[in-house]
Structure 1
Amino acid sequence: MINTRMKRALGRKGFVAAVAAGALFANAAGAQEKIVANGEVVRIQEYPGAILHISQWVAADKGFCEDHGIRCEMVQIPSGPVGLQALAAGSLEVTFASTEVTMQAASRGNDVQLIVGHSPDNIYTLSVHKDVPLPNKDKGYPAVMQDLKGLNVGVTARGSGTELQARGLFIGADMNPDDVTYIGVGSPGTAYPSFLARQIDAAMMFEPFATICRLQETCVDMVDLVGGEGPAEISALNGAFETYAARRDYIEENPVVVDAFIQAMTEATAWVNDSANFEELVEVVQGRFKLGDDIEDADNVLRELVRTNAPLYGVTIDRDAVKAFSDYLIQNELITDPVDPATFVYAKAPQP
């Protein structure tokens, strides 16, 4: 510590230099050691037709993976459950899903651990076709859920996070979650045509589904979970909502690769969050994701999607939120035994 006497002795310039040196030393001492692997390939799940993957695209395309000695490759798989099957079969190194889907797979014997966060808070919106009568719309949640009784609700796949969250909305509204029929329609790229064809009346989806249907005036937002609507039991899950996972045996056998991936994703996510990088970020997304030709003013729509989604990314995993997922799944009889965050989450996974 530099006291007043030292400040006088050093003079103004010397004092400033000493403070700067002290700060530099402190930062260096507290900085995490850079981890570099040996060129291993890390195959990461990607949902086709979704704009959810901005941070992993940046990690691959802006050199963060390469800088940490790994080669990040995207593998298109349309749902969390199918991705976890691929993970168990060794077709992926890293899967991406909502935490409750991964937790259920783990409870059934798929020995996986969460390794790094994707987006801490809820990313889903329940959108309803504009032609569906909604007499309870103005009453909001939970009353509006009555208007879906007997209808078809699109989800990415049966047993996916989108279905589990939709069921949670009905349970929170004191309704039977089987009062509707759930239909697997894949990611937004395939879900939206099914929606337009009225194969489904509503969809629990992630972006760009809600933005596109709003712009084309084909839907209304029934429950906006991104905006905090819905039951308290679902809001309690914020802090560990979407996460990346790997097999426990892979983590134990490849700790340097896993730690390098975590660092690459942490740096890439910080880059995504920085608004100064917006124009470069749009270029990265344009190279990986395209809106349909039927989207009017598609370039500006894409820019708006990037602008609104970039701040939502975050790598931390709140262990209390993970416990809330366990409590939520037990309460809804989706798992039987509590899941301990201390064993389900990799010890080096970032914390808030």
Structure 2
Amino acid sequence: MAFKTVAALVAMVCATAMPTTPGSAQTAAPEKTDVSIAVGGRTFMIYLPLSVTEQLGYFKDAGLNVEIQEVNSGTKSAQALVGGSVDATAGAFDHTIQLQAKGQTITAVVLMGRYPGIVLGLGKAAAARYQGPQDLRGMKIGVTAPGSQTNVMVNYIMANAGLKPGDASFIGVGGPASAIAAVKGGQIDALSHADPAITQLELTGELKPIFDTRSTAGTAAVFGGEYPSSVLYLLPSFIAKYPNTTQALVTAIVRGLHWMERASPEEIAKLMPAEYAMGNHDLYVAIIAKSKAMFSPDGRLSREGAQNALKVLSTFDPAVAGAKIDLDATYTNSLVEKASALH
């Protein structure tokens, strides 16, 4: 879908989703109140804004009954959206570019994670012989799922070291618990994953981080600049059919991001269901404190970040490198601007 078409849809959403009363924080009533959102691991730290928004009741405040459906990976969550089994997906911004290269337009409407928050670490045996990225050759590397952003990051690191994706074996390890088990069981040599799994493995000495994108400096060291991570993305057809619903989703998440910006790590941890802490509340608070800078304060996605993502993916993904990608169709900040004016 061309940019002009996507831009026209977004303009229609902004024009349609007007406040019901002057000064009201509520937009026009959603056309569709029951909304399903896929996420590839809701306990992953990078998707925390989605759960925060749900726990605070902000989706309900916006007139929505949101069902968050957990799937095995970010790749599966993208497939769920394209396949029509969910209305929206909380996933990596990368997907908007990769799917467009295959002829499928999806549009990110709000940024949740401004850094990937992914760490590539080595198990004890691999760490002992590691001298540099070229030593990733021949390793069994655990990722959340093949094709996921955890896989993308390793592919880019390897490409910069003169390696190809096929020079290592990538093994899908799923969520935090199974990732930890894979490292402890010696099933993989290295792990590309996110918190809470990474910090837990660090503390036990079973994983040595070598690349860490939980900070601005760490993200720049890996990707050479900004690199947007978790977003909420939808099909343009959904945006066109349900403009008020789309705006309500964005408004709720932006409100959640604003709350997180003000809240302490302890307040955020207390809000979450007990299972998010994986049995260690104090550690969970510490992980949130370490990760808080990853979250977008306002939901806006920068042009520089989008351009850098395209550059990175073009390095090792032939489909992206060979396609004419319209970045203007991959994201919009218009709905976030509207939401920010309301809150």
Fold-level similarity (TM above 0.5): yes
Q: CA separation of 1:36/1:199 partners in 2, compared to 1, >3 Å: closer, same or farther?
A: farther
1:340: which partner in 2?
326
- Three-state SS of the structure 2 residue aligned to 1:289 is helix
Counterpart of 1:323 (choices 304, 307, 310) is 307
Matches within 5 A, 1:4-19: none
2:144: which partner in 1?
156
Q: C-alpha offsets along residues 274-302 of structure 1, whole Å, 9 cap, x if unaligned?
A: 135x443222223451415xxxxx12111
Matches within 5 A, 1:172-191: 172-191=160-179
Asked if structure 2 preserves the Cα contact closer than 8 Å seen for 1:317 and 1:350, the reply is no
Q: 1:279, 1:90 → 2: CA distance?
A: 38
- Three-state SS of the structure 1 residue aligned to 2:146 is coil
Measured after TM superposition, the shift of residue 185 of structure 1 is 1.3
2:67: which partner in 1?
73
Asked if structure 2 preserves the Cα contact closer than 8 Å seen for 1:323 and 1:339, the reply is no
Confirm whether residue 302 of structure 1 aligns to residue 288 of structure 2: no
Of all paired residues, the percent bearing the same amino acid is: 20
> If the length of structure 1 is used for normalisation, what is the TM-score?
0.80
Asked if structure 2 preserves the Cα contact closer than 8 Å seen for 1:59 and 1:264, the reply is yes
Structure of larger gyration radius: 1
Q: 1:82, 1:136 → 2: CA distance?
A: 32
Q: C-alpha offsets along residues 45-98 of structure 1, whole Å, 9 cap, x if unaligned?
A: 233352333211121121211111112221111212211111012222221222
Q: CA separation of 1:51/1:330 partners in 2, compared to 1, >3 Å: closer, same or farther?
A: closer
> If the length of structure 2 is used for normalisation, what is the TM-score?
0.82
Counterpart of 1:104 (choices 86, 91, 98) is 98
User: Mind listing any 5+ residue stretches in structure 2 that lack a counterpart?
Assistant: 1-21
Q: C-alpha offsets along residues 178-203 of structure 1, whole Å, 9 cap, x if unaligned?
A: 22111111122222211211111111
Q: Which amino acid aligns with 2:147?
A: G
- Three-state SS of the structure 2 residue aligned to 1:257 is helix
Confirm whether residue 59 of structure 1 aligns to residue 58 of structure 2: no
2:29: which partner in 1?
37
Q: Which amino acid aligns with 1:42?
A: V
Q: 2:174, 2:86 → 1: CA distance?
A: 19
Asked if structure 2 preserves the Cα contact closer than 8 Å seen for 1:54 and 1:285, the reply is no
1:7: which partner in 2?
none
Aligned length: 310
Q: Which amino acid aligns with 2:49?
A: S
Q: C-alpha offsets along residues 247-295 of structure 1, whole Å, 9 cap, x if unaligned?
A: 110011011111111111011111012135x443222223451415xxx
Q: 1:168, 1:188 → 2: CA distance?
A: 23
Measured on the aligned residues, the alpha-carbon RMSD in Å equals: 2.5
Measured after TM superposition, the shift of residue 231 of structure 1 is 7.1
- Three-state SS of the structure 2 residue aligned to 1:281 is helix
User: Mind listing any 5+ residue stretches in structure 1 that lack a counterpart?
Assistant: 1-29, 138-143, 293-297
Measured after TM superposition, the shift of residue 129 of structure 1 is 0.6
Q: 2:267, 2:60 → 1: CA distance?
A: 18
Counterpart of 1:274 (choices 248, 251, 262) is 262
Q: CA separation of 1:338/1:233 partners in 2, compared to 1, >3 Å: closer, same or farther?
A: farther
Q: 2:283, 2:160 → 1: CA distance?
A: 33
Q: CA separation of 1:235/1:243 partners in 2, compared to 1, >3 Å: closer, same or farther?
A: farther
